[in-house]
Amino acid sequence: MPEEDDTKPFARRTRKERGQLIASELGKPIPIDALIGQVVLDRYVIESELGAGAMGAVYKGRHHKLKRVVAIKVLHEHLTHEPTMLARFRREAHIAAKLQHPNVISVLDVGETASGLQVMVMEYAQGPTLTEVMTVSPARRRMIQLLHQLLLGLDHAHGVGLIHRDLKPDNIIVAIGDDGTEIARIVDFGIAILRVPDESGEGGRLTASGMMLGTPLYMSPEQAQCEPIDHRADLFSLGVILYEMLAGVTPFEGTAMEIAVANISRDPPSIAQRSPGREVDPLLELYARKLMARKPDRRFSSAREALDVLDLIERDPAEASLWLGKTDVPRALEMISLPELKKR
């Protein structure tokens, strides 16, 4: 068996490799195939493994009577012994079940196996992840449509008090609707955190165990520093995703720690620096940078506000440029004169 390449940048690892790396750093191995073939909650047969992370493993399964295909998340066994983590998993599963939106994967069932494993059953969405879609740079129209749908999903989730806190291309499925149009669907809201306090007064902290959960590549500065977060942490992650769609690369490269430090201490480089010669809509780049502001109060105040400005970019690019550049008037005026904007 070949030795693992420890020097491989975190950003270039596969979803499974990232999960295994995070878990190994926590000292807890991930049992990739341990549950395949088993029946959980007396009605769901686990068929294959879909992915894994620091919180748990996700499997493809099927209701053994209805034959409905589902996704099954299983909390890692060692986390079931942490009372706070266990309580949050159960509470957040019930809240996530309230998510009923075409751009969000809903939780269908939750329970505990005879052996004490915590299980969450979710809708199964068939289609490539956004990671796979981005192997070829999406056209501008397609990019805006996907971004618009993701903001709608976030607006709905934030409205019921849920923060995803691990939004990334691997957690976005691009499904095909009955009419043949693409539908961006956010997955893994089941391990989100609550923005509003529960009966115990908790809900604002990342975790009670002090773990830095999430993917450093897309993680907001406040989350990387294990500070209290709110819904604007998801907007930062979405900004990194948009930057990656525009540039073909993420703002920073390096190890997980190097990327986290860069997100904390540096503004993202211009796309011209990261991808020389690449043609990019300057307004969308400015929009991405607004989403990725290091200080939460300099980002959009909400997904709804971000939606409104995205619509403004389409309706009135000059006005949108002034709005986005109001803290940098020279840059805004420069953008208004760009040929790309005059052509619209």
Query: Annotated catalytic residue: which of 6, 33, 42, 166?
Result: 166
User: Could you give the CA distance from residue 260 to residue 264 in angstroms, rounded to a whole number?
Assistant: 6
* List of residues 6+ apart from 164 with CB closer than 8 A: 154, 157, 171, 186, 188, 189, 192, 234, 237
Structure tokens at 296: 């939460």
User: Could you give the CA distance from residue 190 to residue 237 in angstroms, rounded to a whole number?
Assistant: 17
Is 5 considered catalytic here?
Answer: no
User: Could you give the CA distance from residue 334 to residue 339 in angstroms, rounded to a whole number?
Assistant: 11
* List of residues 6+ apart from 327 with CB closer than 8 A: 298
User: Could you give the CA distance from residue 140 to residue 23 in angstroms, rounded to a whole number?
Assistant: 37
What are the angstrom distances between the C-alpha of 255 and each of 21, 172, 189, 222, 252? 11, 23, 26, 19, 10
The sign one gets for the Cα dihedral 113, 117, 122, 125 is negative
Residues annotated catalytic, as ranges: 166
